[in-house]
Amino acid sequence: MLELLVEDRGAVRILTMNRPEKRNALNQALTQALLDALRAADADDGVRCIVLTGAGRAFCAGADLSEFKDLTPDKGELVDRRAELTMKLQGIFPQLSKPVVTALNGAAMGGGAGLAIAGDLALMSSTATLGYPEVKHGIVAAVVMAGLVRNVGRKAAFELVATAEPLDAARAFALGLVNRVTAPDELMAEALAVAQKLAAVERPAMAATKELFYRAVDLPFAQALAEGRDVNKRMRGFRAR
């Protein structure tokens, strides 16, 4: 069985994590497949937007704990390689020129929560949950913390990683972790509708919007204004074809 399903609906590419019996837990194979598929979608001229979701009842349960038995201190090279792969996947979303819509069909935990909120837009089923349970397993919500603290305030972010208590959809929406909450049977239709709207935007304008957005998030105000000025001058060449 394929770890990741890839389907095109017009200019929208749907990536579906496909380990339903493992709640789409991120083993090395799925992590690499996702990273490769996101890069491929970004390079494909026929793709204008990406939707990421999960097969079965979960979005993604996070890291596949069954692989942890091999990630021991005496296997430093393996530990380093896996940590690097995890970091690359969690960090690729702002680097893509095309928007990503995440569709949370079920539980999104740990690394799965990181993927869920890494999307440029996130839609969540009303029955789904989101959380960072790592401390309950004696580990740290480490790589995903960078994305979390950029999406919610410090107090809310610390509560999530320190208490490991999951959020329901209403609370996730109230905190701004997701854009919309939908009925479970309407989630994919809504996600595709949003994706199609994004796909209709001219590619140069969308790519420049996304690039500037993620630069401005971390820049001092004056520098962000200067970056905006430069893009403002460049956008005169964005005329619709």
Task: Give the count of beta carbons closer than 10 Å to the beta carbon of residue 103.
Answer: 28
CATH code that applies to domain 4-198: 3.90.226.10
Could you please report the per-residue DSSP string of 136-154? GGTS---TTHHHHHTTS-H
As given in the structure block, the two tokens for residue 61 are 């349960």
Catalytic residue among 134, 190, 202, 211: 134
Instruction: Report in angstroms the alpha-carbon separations of 85 from 30, 111, 167.
Output: 11, 12, 27
Whole-angstrom Cα Rg for the chain:
18
> d(Cα 140, Cα 221) in Å, to the nearest integer?
32
Instruction: Report in angstroms the alpha-carbon separations of 96 from 87, 89, 127.
Output: 15, 11, 29
Sorting pLDDT into bands at 50, 70 and 90, what band is 1?
Answer: confident
Consecutive H or E run containing 60:
strand 58-60
134 in active site: yes
What's the pLDDT at 203?
93
As given in the structure block, the two tokens for residue 230 are 């430069």
Q: Which residues share a beta bridge with 108?
A: 60, 130
Q: Which residues share a beta bridge with 63?
A: 26
> d(Cα 116, Cα 124) in Å, to the nearest integer?
9
User: Which pTM value belongs to this model?
Assistant: 0.93
130-172 tens-digit pLDDT: 999 999 988 999 999 999 999 999 999 999 999 999 999 999 9
